[in-house]
Amino acid sequence: MSVVVSRRHGFTLVELLVVLVLLVFFGLAIGGLARTITDARDRVDESSETNQLARTILQRISDELASVIPLPVPLNTADEPTGLVNATASPTTILTFYHEDTPDLQWGLEEDTLRFTTARGDPRQGNVPQGELIEVAYFVDTDPQTPEQGLVRSVGTLPGLLPEETQPEQVPREVLSERVVALDFQFYDPDTGEWLGTWERTDMLPALVSVTLGIAPVPCDEFFARLPRDQSLVERVEWFTTTVALRVRSYPDPSVQGSRQRSGGGTSAALSGGVSSASPNVPPVSLSFSGQRPSGQTGQSGGGLR
């Protein structure tokens, strides 16, 4: 009688090592895929948040620029505001539309300031009472010694009350975003058909104003603190641009308006010549926001805003 002996063979050490290596490879592949999906989702969320932030800021600036009032106001010789442009040849009036072009030569970022009078004041907004006609200023504050950082909007309840050296407690200020590190304005002159980096005319406002924001991935103070050590942060700035057509471009000398009233033209004649919105030879304006990298500055173009 023959006896059959059955033997069970276990895994050898080599087979166990092969299985472990395969399991490790599969785990790394699955983990890498999960990280890729998570990173992609985070980038999409961050891009969507940045796009929405840019849309909100540009819409607010556009609304106030579209309602700009180039109002001449009398100068107080005892306390004359600085930095404002004469509205007419008369030294007794100033025009409440002032632009200051202040590029950051070290990093190539524009940090412009624009002040103007607008009829967009809403007394229901904020804790500070606002009138129907206010003077606003938009600028980027990068000074670490100031309480505000990023894009700042300051408000004066009467025109001509925003001199350059205004104390923080004198004017209500609102930080629109701490991530805005650059602000650039361009002005279209229909008489020459050119875009200008600054506006110096004293008798007429530009027909179009181009507004460009540079939004960093981190807050303004952290951005400029890290920039000397990590200059690649400039490449991660996203740019967003929109163009605004100004409805009102000029306002006559009050003395001229008064002479028209005294000459018998009446109120209707004064009003008909009071505000001019003529803008000949103006190129078509797109109302959509577009991601655009301005010339001379580096960084990413923002995702197309529509």
pLDDT of 19 reads 81
pLDDT of 92 reads 58
| Structural domain that includes position 83 | 43-301
Say if residues 253 and 198 touch (Cβ distance below 8 Å): no
Number of domains in the chain: 1
Q: H helices of the chain, where? A: 13-66, 220-226, 254-260, 266-272
Four-residue CA torsion sign, 194, 206, 260, 272: positive
What's the distance, CA 258 to chain centroid?
39
In this structure, is residue 34 part of a structural domain? no
- Beta-sheet strand order (sheet of 150-156): 97-100, 113-118, 134-141, 150-156, 173-177
In this structure, is residue 4 part of a structural domain? no
The neighbouring-strand residues paired with 137 are 115, 154
pLDDT of 255 reads 38
User: Residue-wise over 80-105: b if at least 16 C-beta within 10 A, else e?
Assistant: ebeebeebbeeeebbbbbbbebebee
In this structure, is residue 292 part of a structural domain? yes
Residues of the chain scoring pLDDT < 50: 77-91, 123-124, 128-131, 166, 168-169, 253-280, 284-290, 292, 296, 303-306
In this structure, is residue 159 part of a structural domain? yes
In this structure, is residue 137 part of a structural domain? yes
Say if residues 183 and 215 touch (Cβ distance below 8 Å): no
How many C-beta atoms surround the C-beta of residue 215 within 10 A? 25
